[in-house]
């Protein structure tokens, strides 16, 4: 009987088995090998290594000698292919530390493990990757690097506390852009419980500078579905505003409002030529990870 892939397991159950570093490694090991393919492929003359052939690879770079000798289809990978820079931007505001059920991870814990896996993917492919964490201000910055020890710097930063009472994604994205001088990948992971216009304008600036922008919105299923229950006091974890309500009386209107908000973000991001995906905290890590990987130049990305 085959062992289930870690990237397809329940995220809370998987996270209970080990720390962030272990979970990220398990997810990556179960998910893929060598997906990265640079848009600059073939322009460098400096040969770096071989990697397995993938559908869509330029046949000019197939190593026919290895194919004839070992019956293995591999392509020559050049140094330019591994020269991508990526900045991961993580929202660590108070709203991200919420969960709708004790059996689920908080949005922040889910995002930290997901970005840990994504960062490890970039590093295994010898790409430079960095991290910006922000709430009301930029909390921590790890400049992009592909050198030995970068993974531990990322993991240490992801484990740092956050939880400010607001969210300044504009400043966080600006810091990421400052550290990514030439066109690269900028990945934003947030619940996006902020006004869209300023953030979308900053994303527009990033796209104008040639960056590939990937936006992953992380929500708890209760935020999307608003399950029935008794009358309760609902409190905003960032502003402190509290509203008494009976879910059955406002559920339909709430769900309609949420769907409109999701559509605003999705349409706004897509209109900029960036990529958008939605992840629920009960989704296996492999689902949003696949969306992010496919969005970064490996085929069309399904929009949630």
pLDDT of residue 83: 59
CB atoms within 10 A of CB 277: 22
pLDDT tens track for 193-238: 999 999 999 999 999 999 999 999 999 999 998 877 656 666 766 6
pLDDT of residue 271: 96
The residue with tokens 């990937």 is 214
70 in the same domain as 103: no
Sign of CA dihedral 226, 227, 232, 236: negative
166 in the same domain as 119: yes
Instruction: Give Cβ neighbours of residue 291 (< 8 Å, ≥ 6 apart).
Output: 216, 277, 279, 301, 302, 304
172 in the same domain as 109: yes
Q: What is the DSSP letter of 84?
A: -
- 162 domain residue, yes or no: yes
Residue 30 has pLDDT above 90, yes or no: no
pLDDT tier for residue 303 given thresholds of 50, 70 and 90: very low
74 in the same domain as 88: no
- 232 domain residue, yes or no: yes
pLDDT tier for residue 79 given thresholds of 50, 70 and 90: very low
- 222 domain residue, yes or no: yes
Which of the listed residues 80, 104, 135 is the one where a domain comes to its end?
80
281 in the same domain as 194: yes
Residue 36 has pLDDT above 70, yes or no: no
pLDDT tens track for 15-27: 999 999 999 999 9
Q: For residues 33 and 291, which has the higher predicted lDDT (pLDDT)? A: 291
140 in the same domain as 58: no
152 in the same domain as 30: yes
pLDDT of residue 124: 84
What's the number of domains the chain is made of? Answer: 2
In whole angstroms, what is the distance from residue 45 CA to residue 76 CA? 11
Question: Which structural domain, as residue segments, surrounds residue 62?
Answer: 47-80
Sign of CA dihedral 160, 165, 168, 171: negative
Interhelix angle 20-31/107-124, rounded to 10 degrees, is 60
In whole angstroms, what is the distance from residue 210 CA to residue 166 CA? 29
Residue 14 has pLDDT above 50, yes or no: yes
In whole angstroms, what is the distance from residue 91 CA to residue 85 CA? 20
Residue 304 has pLDDT above 60, yes or no: no
Percent of the chain with pLDDT over 90: 55
The residue with tokens 């492999």 is 286
Residue 116 has pLDDT above 80, yes or no: yes
Query: Residue 278 belongs to a domain with what CATH number?
Result: 3.40.50.410
Q: For residues 185 and 233, which has the higher predicted lDDT (pLDDT)? A: 185
Percent of the chain with pLDDT over 70: 79
- Helices assigned H by DSSP within the chain: 11-15, 20-31, 64-70, 107-124, 150-158, 169-178, 196-208, 221-225, 247-271, 286-295
pLDDT of residue 236: 66
99 in the same domain as 74: no
CB atoms within 10 A of CB 57: 17
130 in the same domain as 109: yes
In whole angstroms, what is the distance from residue 256 CA to residue 302 CA? 22
- 140 domain residue, yes or no: yes
139 in the same domain as 62: no
Closest to 142 in 3D by CA, of 23, 199, 190, 151? 151
90 in the same domain as 73: no
- 64 domain residue, yes or no: yes
Looking at the DSSP bridge assignments, the partners of residue 87 are: 130, 186
Closest to 88 in 3D by CA, of 297, 300, 280, 292? 292
105 in the same domain as 72: no
């Amino acid at each position: 009987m085959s062992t289930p892939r870690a990237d397809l397991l329940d995220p809370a159950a998987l996270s209970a088995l080990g720390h962030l570093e272990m979970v990220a490694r398990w997810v990556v090991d179960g998910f893929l090998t060598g997906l990265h393919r640079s848009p600059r492929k073939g322009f460098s003359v400096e040969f770096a290594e071989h990697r397995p052939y993938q559908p869509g690879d330029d046949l000019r770079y197939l190593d026919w000698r290895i194919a004839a000798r070992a019956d293995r289809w591999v392509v020559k990978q050049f140094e330019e292919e591994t020269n991508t820079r990526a900045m991961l931007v993580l929202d660590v505001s108070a709203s991200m530390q919420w969960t709708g059920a004790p059996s689920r991870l908080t949005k922040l814990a889910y995002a930290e493990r997901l970005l840990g896996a994504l960062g490890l993917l970039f590093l295994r492919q010898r790409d430079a990757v960095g991290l910006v964490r922000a709430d009301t201000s930029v909390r921590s910055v790890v400049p992009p690097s592909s050198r030995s020890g970068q993974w531990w710097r990322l993991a240490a930063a992801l484990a740092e506390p956050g939880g400010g009472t607001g969210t300044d994604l504009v400043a966080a994205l600006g810091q990421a852009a400052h550290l990514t001088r030439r066109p690269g990948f900028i990945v934003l992971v947030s619940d996006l419980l902020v006004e869209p216009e300023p953030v979308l304008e900053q994303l527009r600036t990033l796209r104008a500078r040639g960056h590939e922008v990937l936006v992953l919105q992380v929500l708890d299923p209760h935020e999307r579905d608003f399950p029935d229950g008794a009358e309760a006091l609902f409190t905003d974890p960032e502003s402190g505003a509290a509203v008494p309500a009976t879910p059955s009386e406002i559920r339909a209107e709430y769900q309609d409002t949420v769907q409109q908000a999701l559509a605003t973000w999705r349409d706004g991001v897509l209109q900029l030529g960036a990529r958008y995906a939605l992840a629920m905290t009960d989704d296996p890590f492999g689902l949003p990870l696949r969306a992010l990987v496919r969005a970064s130049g490996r085929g069309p990305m399904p929009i949630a």
